[in-house]
Amino acid sequence: MNDRPLPACPVETTLMLIGSKWKVLILRDLMDGTRRFSELKKSIGTITQKVLTSNLRDMEACGLLTRTVYPEVPPRVEYTLTQTGYSLKPILDSMVDWGTAYKNLADSARP
């Protein structure tokens, strides 16, 4: 786990860990299982390699995922959620439910 001091507020702690759109999208993709770096980059889309690498390293440091490097040429790197990472599934599921309901409401309000 990371040695950063945690905020007193639990909501702030959660946001510190997953408070960027990139981290939420990485979590979304890893909920289905292990992914290679290139698979994550392709799935997420507009993220740069540098930003993806930075977010993955931060999430690894916080204990949300593990990184496995295979000694091959070219090197193969895979990412898998830890138990702590998987424990965020109810939060992501709630985001899916809320986003779906909001989208349906917005669609029905359009002429």
Domain residue limits at 96: 10-109
CATH of the domain at 18: 1.10.10.10
pLDDT in tens, the chain (111 residues): 667 788 889 999 999 899 999 999 999 999 999 999 999 999 998 999 999 999 999 999 999 999 999 999 988 999 999 999 999 999 999 999 999 999 999 999 887
The Cα 68–Cα 8 span in angstroms is 33
Say if 43 falls within a structural domain.
Answer: yes
Say if 3 falls within a structural domain.
Answer: no
How many structural domains compose the chain? 1
Say if 1 falls within a structural domain.
Answer: no
Say if 77 falls within a structural domain.
Answer: yes
